[in-house]
Structure 1
Amino acid sequence: MTTRFADKSVLITGGGSGIGRGIALAFAQEGARVAVAGRSAGPLAETVDLIERAGGKAIALTGDVTDAQDAARLVRETVEQFGGLDVAVNNAGVLGALGPVGEIDEADFRRVFDINVTGTLLAMKHQIGHMRAHGGGAIVNVSSNVGAHRRIAGVGAYAASKAAVTALTRAAARDHIADGVRINLVSPGPVETPMSTRPGENAEAKAERMKAEVPAGRAGAVEEIAAAVLHLASPEAGYTVGADLVLDGGATA
């Protein structure tokens, strides 16, 4: 374990699996106290167990970031358990149903926006509120290369929501850097998680598709996304404000 984030308190939404879990493990490995948040207790407990078995410190907080009271409570409970909040990573998100824009179900469209956009807004609102009252902090949001950078057929709701996350994050960065709150985002392409696997696709078929679709010839590793998030949250990135770091193996180069 290293100590870049020693004595720092970190809150990660969507921390029960995939990219969120990888980010939580990476922060813990660098000395942070980590609160992982999400709607399902089981996966969060698994993340906490992985961290603790590696010698780190973590807690699980169940909650729904689309609920303003829950979003506030996640910050409050992190502060109560760890004595503060230095870094927040907003990773909670969903893909939604697949299909052309002309066939999007309105209820699903609203659900995707509620989780991906409104959830990010409410989480940031309460994180910023605490940080600017307690000496500042860093926030990193997880968006996607699909949206502001790339469009893919059949994921219109997701693309629109992630484009909104990108715009919202950069607006927040401008609004709050004078408050001592430094905000950035990462925009991953396909990563080795279930979200980037098509229905019925096995690992071999996915690997072949990645060779054809991604100039780097592969999907990204969760650890590569986590490393970028930790950099943006670190003091070394102190002059980086409102950056959108695209991590997609050259797909949008």
Structure 2
Amino acid sequence: MSAQRLIIVTGGSRGIGAAIATRLAREGYALAIGCRYPIEARQLLEGIEAEGGQALALPLDVVQEGEVARFFAAAEERLGPLHALVNNAGITGPLGRFVDLDATEMRRVTDVNLTGTMLCAREALRRFAVREVSGRSIVNISSVAAATGSPGEYVHYAATKAAVEAFTLGLAREVAGQGIRVNAVAPGTVRTGIHALAGDPGRPDRIAPRVPMGRVGEPAEIAEAAAWLVSDAASYATGAVLRVTGGL
């Protein structure tokens, strides 16, 4: 596989995004990691480069249309034509009952999780159209919350992820005839720093007893699912939502 098959991973400086970037780099892809603060990705880049991989991190706010276009252009200029996009950037917003949710937080979560996913997917499609080669794909990161609704915790977040899954299916059917695949991975609770950012660092340990497998997931386990959907092994998979939830 050529090292110049570029994959963009948004929200890729830590957690699930960093695990996906690391996994794909081991497959020989060149990685462009989008994040708000590229300095946060320094350790990730050093790890990829130490294993002989090629990666860079560039600033990206997925809700800013112009910034999305500039990011994709810079990534292709430095690493070659786009092969795949992993739409991982996302936020939960505050935990709590929906009735208490501030409208500003509601809009921010919707902008990042849904509008940001759409803007990045649209930019990827525009670039795919320039070079019609095999294997082009988009993988959106959803959540088990799309199926459970997450009552009492983050109904607003769950709603955005359900919308991401509907978007995945509709877009997959729209572009299948162009040889472009669009799929999603829906993780269950995963041990990452997102829980601390939401103000509940102990959530993974609290959730673990409810999971049929008796534990929460690890970022590397989600990365395996994303890597499979990107790969040629998944050549007949499009419009799929791969649930990696430990049985939830």
Say yes or no: TM over 0.5: yes
Deviations for 1:113-153, whole angstroms, at most 9, x for unmatched residues? 00000000100000011112211511101010102x11222
Aligned to 2:41: 44
Q: Is the 8 A contact 1:190 1:196 kept in 2?
A: no
Q: Does the residue aligned with 2:191 lie in a helix, a strand or coil?
A: coil
Deviation at 1:200?
5.7
* Residue identity (%): 36
Q: Is the 8 A contact 2:195 2:201 kept in 1?
A: no
Aligned to 2:153: 154
Q: Decide which moves more: 166-175 or 242-251.
A: 166-175
Q: Is the 8 A contact 2:94 2:199 kept in 1?
A: no
Aligned to 1:241: 238
Please list every run of 5 or more consecutive structure 1 residues that lacks an aligned counterpart in the other structure.
none
Please list every run of 5 or more consecutive structure 2 residues that lacks an aligned counterpart in the other structure.
none
Deviation at 1:6?
4.6
Deviation at 1:196?
4.1
Task: Return the alpha-carbon distance in structure 2 between the equivalents of residues 213 and 156 of structure 1.
Answer: 19
Aligned amino acid, residue 167 of structure 2: L
Matched length: 244
Task: Return the alpha-carbon distance in structure 2 between the equivalents of residues 201 and 133 of structure 1.
Answer: 44
Task: Return the alpha-carbon distance in structure 1 between the equivalents of residues 65 and 207 of structure 2.
Answer: 38
Aligned to 2:128: 131
Q: Is the 8 A contact 2:4 2:81 kept in 1?
A: no
Change (3 A) 1:206 1:144: closer
TM-score, normalising length from structure 2? 0.93
Change (3 A) 1:61 1:248: same
Deviation at 1:28?
0.7
Aligned to 2:172: 173
For 1:1-253, list aligned pairs within 5 A.
6-136=3-133, 137-147=136-146, 149-152=147-150, 153-196=152-195, 199=199, 201-202=201-202, 206-207=204-205, 209-251=206-248
Q: Does the residue aligned with 1:50 lie in a helix, a strand or coil?
A: helix
Q: Does the residue aligned with 1:133 lie in a helix, a strand or coil?
A: coil
Task: Return the alpha-carbon distance in structure 1 between the equivalents of residues 87 and 200 of structure 2.
Answer: 29
Deviations for 1:13-37, whole angstroms, at most 9, x for unmatched residues? 0011000000000011111111111
Aligned amino acid, residue 167 of structure 1: A
Task: Return the alpha-carbon distance in structure 1 between the equivalents of residues 201 and 82 of structure 2.
Answer: 40
Could you say what the CA RMSD is over the residues aligned between the two structures, in angstroms? 1.7
Q: Is the 8 A contact 1:210 1:217 kept in 2?
A: no
Q: Is the 8 A contact 2:88 2:140 kept in 1?
A: yes
Q: Does the residue aligned with 2:12 lie in a helix, a strand or coil?
A: coil
Change (3 A) 1:105 1:199: closer
